[in-house]
Amino acid sequence: MATRAENLTAALQATLGDKLASVTTALGEVTAVVKAEHLLAATTALRDAPELKFEQMIDLCGVDYGGYGMVAWTGTPMSEGGAGAPLAGPAPETDKVQPIAEHAPRSADGQAREHELIPAGARFAVVYHLLSVSRNHRLRLRVFAPDNAFPVVDSVIGTWPAANWFEREAFDLYGIMFTGHPDLRRILTDYGFVGHPFRKDFPLSGTVEMRYDPDQQRVIYQPVTIEAREITPRIVRVENYADTDVQKK
């Protein structure tokens, strides 16, 4: 007997066809990736197709995959296969996203590995969490921006009006533009904020700071004065706590 995830996967493949770049199941959750040029047609089908009926968009967020899968972990092992402090690897050099491979490699349990489903050189993506109240299905939908230098995807406000403020948040924090949005402007950061704070290349201490100037008797902006420092906590876990020698130490 087919599981709910298998039934949903089959319905997605039948309904979306070539609009679907990939669909995977992990931990009972289904994730579908659609091509950017087919986003609006795909979301309309997801909402209106009788076998899908995703009437509600619960959440929308941006993702920055800069350096994803290229991080080396070194230091004191925390567990078998674990490691200590991270060392950031080089960021992808290309500004153009390559297509997802049709046959993604599989892990031991037959599931497609998540990091191998990311298009080569892709950096920015938008993720939608959808709910079908009618059919009691949930779906994670992902679309990658074709251009890393200027990430743009279509707005889905016409499909799910609730996306309005969520798209503004993704624009504010990640700098992702949404074609067709009626009022795309910042929603969380302050007036005059420079940059997008959730991007991987944004400095942890920011670029400017705000303070009250008693001489000018007003709030002013100035370059940040916080000194750069290592804030990665050092975590050391002893593997065998029952060892008497360890307990004596």
Scan for tokens 């997008």, then name that residue.
196
Lowest mean pLDDT among 78-92, 143-157, 201-215: 78-92
Residues 70-86: pLDDT tens digits?
655 454 443 343 334 44
Burial label, 151 (beta-carbon count in 10 A; 0-12, 13-18, 19+): buried
Encoded tokens for 180: 């067709």
Q: Give the whole-angstrom CA distance, residue 120 versus residue 102.
A: 13
If you average pLDDT over residues 175-184, what whole number do you get?
Answer: 96
- Give one word for 43, left, alpha or beta, with left for phi > 0 and alpha for psi -120 to 50: alpha
3-state secondary structure of 9: helix
Asked if residue 168 has pLDDT above 60, the reply is: yes
Q: Which helix (H) or strand (E) holds 72?
A: strand 72-73
Query: β-pairing, 152-154 with 177-179?
Result: parallel
8 A C-beta contact, residue 152 and residue 179: yes
Encoded tokens for 131: 């709910």
The listed CATH number (3.30.300.30, 3.30.590.10, 3.40.50.10950, 3.30.460.80) that belongs to domain 4-194: 3.30.460.80
Output the pLDDT for position 12.
96
If you average pLDDT over residues 88-117, what whole number do you get?
Answer: 47
Output the pLDDT for position 237.
63
Instruction: Report the predicted TM-score, pTM, of the whole model to 2 decimal places.
Output: 0.74
8 A C-beta contact, residue 100 and residue 119: yes
Residues 16-41: pLDDT tens digits?
999 999 999 998 899 999 999 999 99
What is the C-alpha radius of gyration for the chain, rounded to an integer number of angstroms? 22
- Domain boundaries defined on the chain: 4-194
Asked if residue 52 has pLDDT above 50, the reply is: yes
Asked if residue 124 has pLDDT above 90, the reply is: yes
Q: What are phi and psi of 18, to 5 degrees?
A: -75, -5
